[in-house]
Amino acid sequence: MPLLDSTFSPRPYLRGGHLQTILPSVVRRVDDVAYERERIATPDGDFLDLDWVRSARRRVVIVSHGLEGNSSRAYVRGMARALRDAGFDVLAWNYRGCSGEPNRLLRSYHSGASDDLGVVIEHVASLERYDAIALVGFSLGGNITLKYLGETSDGAHPLVRAAVAFSVPADLGSSAHRLAECANAIYMRRFMTTLRAKMLAKASLMPPTISLEGIDRVRTFLEFDDRYTAPIHGYRDGPDYWTRASSRPLLAGIRRPTLLVNALDDPFLTPQCMPFDEARASEHFHFEAPAHGGHVGFMERWDRYWSEARAVAFLRRWIGHML
């Protein structure tokens, strides 16, 4: 029954879901991580850009970023530094269209794109330099990570030994509706601004394929996913995409030690994103719900992020003996 009590207790002046969500993205800088970029081909003729931190270790962690993020975000670089210092190689991958260059195909990234994570895992395994692979995912990247583990179940790549995910909208529909609330307008505006810009850039490459009529009036995930995400990626509409891409229905299939950490004060998440029952029923899926932490926050004090220490501790527990 891996339902865990949380040890996260931020300084009193750092408590509050919105504060924990916004402050790290504004103030944090991580400058002492040097990436080495590699581009790999996908089976459908596109590409993925991978950013490596390598020191010839025998274990590696694949880090998946959040919506409209990339490997340069402070939370990704901070996790990469913590894992590097703990004795892991690190691969922070960029989703299609997130590495600074538009991808070649109409297809982009989305919350259900666990097949692309599978491509990255297969590539890492093919290098034959690692004895163990671990996964760490944030938000959308956490959903992709949990979906991969749940849908592959016992068939997940044998080198994948453990995983950790933070701030995951495991029920995409309820999270989309939560973000459409007035209290979350600042986040919705930011996401829509960058998502619309990517659609405009994509349309300039493929004008006959994408209609931009009325795109300036697209204001919510329902509108965006109905018009773009769903039809481009084979879903009927936005709600069908949310249902089929959500990781929560797949958690029971996870067969590798996996930790999900969702803060109870996360402004993006709803009670439907808190899988207490799945953790109680599982031998492999662990769930931790600290009272504080916001969305991809977990700022313990100005210079310390609890999520990084938590991920290192969990992964060391399961693959710490491999160097």
User: How many beta carbons lie within 10 A of that of residue 216, not counting itself?
Assistant: 10
- Is residue 191 one of the residues assigned to a domain? no
How far apart are the C-alpha atoms of 25 and 35, rounded to whole Å? 20
* % of the chain exceeding 90 in pLDDT: 90
- Is residue 180 one of the residues assigned to a domain? no
How far apart are the C-alpha atoms of 296 and 22, rounded to whole Å? 9
How far apart are the C-alpha atoms of 197 and 193, rounded to whole Å? 6
* % of the chain exceeding 70 in pLDDT: 99
- Is residue 311 one of the residues assigned to a domain? yes
The per-residue pLDDT for range 75-113, each reduced to its tens digit, is 999 999 999 999 999 999 999 999 999 999 999 999 999
The per-residue pLDDT for range 260-296, each reduced to its tens digit, is 999 999 999 999 999 999 999 999 999 999 999 999 9
What pLDDT sits at residue 245? 98
- Is residue 236 one of the residues assigned to a domain? no
- Is residue 209 one of the residues assigned to a domain? no
CATH code, 105: 3.40.50.1820
H-type helices in the chain, by residue range? 17-27, 74-85, 114-126, 140-152, 172-179, 185-205, 221-224, 230-232, 238-245, 276-281, 306-319
- Is residue 204 one of the residues assigned to a domain? no
- Is residue 215 one of the residues assigned to a domain? no
Q: Give the chain's domain count.
A: 1
Beta bridge partners of 37: 51
| Domain extent for 292 | 3-171+246-319
- Is residue 100 one of the residues assigned to a domain? yes
